[in-house]
């Protein structure tokens, strides 16, 4: 045991020596062809650094500083402290903060009885349901559901989503489900619970990690055939950034076929990562309806005309209690069939990224189906210039180079 203790001390001393030799170092950021403002930047480091340590980067010319945070030992994230014009570049020196324990986390996650409340600077952003939410008393119990986000709030506090909506009780704000699939020669519908073929449910919270730059939530879900049991195991990785004039978060979905048989996703007109809009936009809800929502895509197509078109981003917005607000969801080039086709319902406020519109595909045993989307929640009707800036940061980020590590 004495020898093991000496070895551990030697290991720790070696780690401290490595850190001392590699801190500070420099990160070069080039704007590229686009303007940059409040841009989240992710850097892949050539060498690992200690996770849990708080870092700061400072512009070598302007002196502007920002917190930097490790997602893991080789992935550093920060928000650009400087605005950048196209073609410009900046160098930042990265140092370790001695009093890092005093850094406040602007995005917090509060564990509640039925799920997790995510707040940005003490304002609510969204609620993730870990326990089954029960449908209205006049609806069958098979509509109960967990593993979804609702409500989603605007920065001004308007609720932009709905669950158990009038006319479509099986839909839930931000949720993910496949519709027309075949598994072991049986039709399985994970979306329409009234078919009594399948459902999606929360399993467990894998990790909650608050930070000065990004707060990360990881949760596990299962896509279950009511006849054959679990077919897909899914992980949601949600990363929330500290902006409060608007909200910004990424949702990464990783689905793995945990069986020995192929899941066939048939060509169909909807299914996938969905957005169900506010009850105030639903004219089937006679009690709450106020006005219709508006849909706008990256291709300039509006409302139901956008159905089954391809879109790099989709914005859904409208007025809630007189206040305009909305949510833009960005597809990403790494996603299957990017830019993916979308389903926009002709009369109800929901839309969904639906790659099966272009044809069937499979998720084979042991393989993964991965997607990632960025959500931009704004307190006005859509501003295409602002949406374009967020899109470029997401799909064509600044060029970064690590020097001296």
User: How many structural domains are present in the chain?
Assistant: 2
Task: Tell me: do 181 and 248 sit in the same domain.
Answer: yes
pLDDT of residue 99: 62
Q: Say how far residue 71 (Cα) sits from the centre of its chain.
A: 15
In which band, very low, low, confident or very high, does the pLDDT at 22 lie, cut at 50, 70 and 90? low
What would the pLDDT profile of 341-378 be if each residue is shown by its tens digit?
Answer: 999 999 999 999 999 999 999 999 999 999 999 999 99
What would the pLDDT profile of 186-197 be if each residue is shown by its tens digit?
Answer: 999 999 999 999
In which band, very low, low, confident or very high, does the pLDDT at 6 lie, cut at 50, 70 and 90? very low
In which band, very low, low, confident or very high, does the pLDDT at 23 lie, cut at 50, 70 and 90? confident
What would the pLDDT profile of 108-164 be if each residue is shown by its tens digit?
Answer: 999 999 999 999 999 999 999 999 999 999 999 999 999 999 999 999 999 999 999
pLDDT of residue 229: 98
For residue 181, what is the domain's CATH number? 2.70.98
- pLDDT exceeds 70 at position 382: yes
Rounded to an integer, the average pLDDT of 313-319 is 98
- pLDDT exceeds 50 at position 2: no
- pLDDT exceeds 70 at position 386: yes
| 332-366: b (≥16 Cβ within 10 Å) or e | beebebebbbbbbbeebbbbbbbbbbeeeeebeee
What would the pLDDT profile of 260-274 be if each residue is shown by its tens digit?
Answer: 999 999 999 999 999
Query: Within a domain: residue 136?
Result: yes
Query: Within a domain: residue 402?
Result: no
Output the CA–CA distances (angstroms, integers) from residue 304 to 96, 269, 270, in the order listed.
52, 14, 14
Domain, as residue range, for 189:
107-395
Q: Which residues pair with 373 in a beta bridge?
A: 251
Q: How does the average pLDDT of the chain come out, rounded?
A: 94
- pTM of this structure: 0.94
Query: Within a domain: residue 13?
Result: no
CA distance 215 to 228: 36
Task: Tell me: do 43 and 155 sit in the same domain.
Answer: no
- Is residue 73 within 8 Å of residue 55, measured between CB atoms? no
Rounded to an integer, the average pLDDT of 289-298 is 98
Query: Within a domain: residue 123?
Result: yes
pLDDT of residue 155: 98
Query: Within a domain: residue 8?
Result: no
Task: Tell me: do 79 and 151 sit in the same domain.
Answer: no
Task: Tell me: do 285 and 312 sit in the same domain.
Answer: yes
């Amino acid at each position: 045991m004495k020898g093991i203790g000496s070895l551990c001390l030697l290991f720790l001393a070696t780690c401290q020596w490595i850190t001392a030799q590699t801190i500070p170092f420099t990160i070069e950021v080039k704007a590229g062809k686009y303007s940059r403002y409040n841009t989240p930047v992710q850097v892949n480091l050539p060498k690992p650094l200690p996770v849990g340590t708080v870092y700061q980067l400072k512009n070598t010319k302007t002196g502007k500083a920002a917190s930097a945070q490790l997602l893991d030992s080789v992935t550093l994230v920060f928000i650009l402290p400087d605005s950048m014009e196209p073609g410009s570049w900046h160098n930042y020196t990265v140092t370790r903060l001695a009093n890092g324990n005093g850094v406040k986390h602007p995005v917090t996650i509060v564990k509640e009885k039925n799920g997790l409340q995510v707040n940005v600077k003490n304002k609510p952003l969204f609620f993730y349901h870990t326990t089954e939410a029960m449908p209205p008393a006049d609806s069958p119990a098979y509509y109960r559901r967990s593993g979804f986000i609702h409500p989603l709030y605007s920065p001004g506090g308007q609720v932009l989503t709905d669950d158990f909506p009038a006319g479509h009780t099986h839909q839930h704000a931000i949720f993910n489900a496949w519709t027309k699939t075949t598994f072991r020669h049986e039709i399985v519908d994970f979306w329409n619970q009234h078919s009594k073929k399948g459902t999606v449910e929360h399993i467990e919270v894998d990790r909650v990690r608050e930070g000065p730059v990004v707060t990360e939530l990881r949760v596990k879900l299962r896509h279950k055939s009511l006849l054959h049991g679990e077919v897909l195991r899914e992980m949601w990785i949600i990363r929330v950034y500290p902006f409060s004039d608007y909200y910004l978060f990424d949702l990464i979905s990783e689905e793995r076929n945990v069986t020995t048989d192929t899941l066939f996703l048939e060509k169909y007109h909807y299914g996938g990562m969905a957005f169900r809009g506010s009850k105030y936009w639903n004219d089937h809800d006679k009690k709450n309806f106020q006005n219709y929502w508006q849909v706008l895509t990256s291709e300039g197509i509006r409302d139901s005309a956008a159905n089954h078109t391809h879109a790099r981003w989709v914005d859904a917005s409208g007025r809630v209690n007189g206040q305009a607000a909305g949510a833009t969801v960005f597809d990403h080039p790494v996603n299957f069939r990017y830019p993916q086709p979308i389903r926009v319902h002709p009369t109800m406020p929901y839309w969904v990224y639906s790659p099966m519109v272009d044809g069937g595909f499979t998720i084979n045993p042991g393989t993964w189906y991965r997607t990632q989307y960025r959500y931009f929640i704004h307190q006005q009707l859509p501003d295409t210039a602002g949406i374009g800036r967020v899109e470029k940061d997401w799909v064509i980020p600044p060029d970064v180079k690590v020097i001296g590590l």
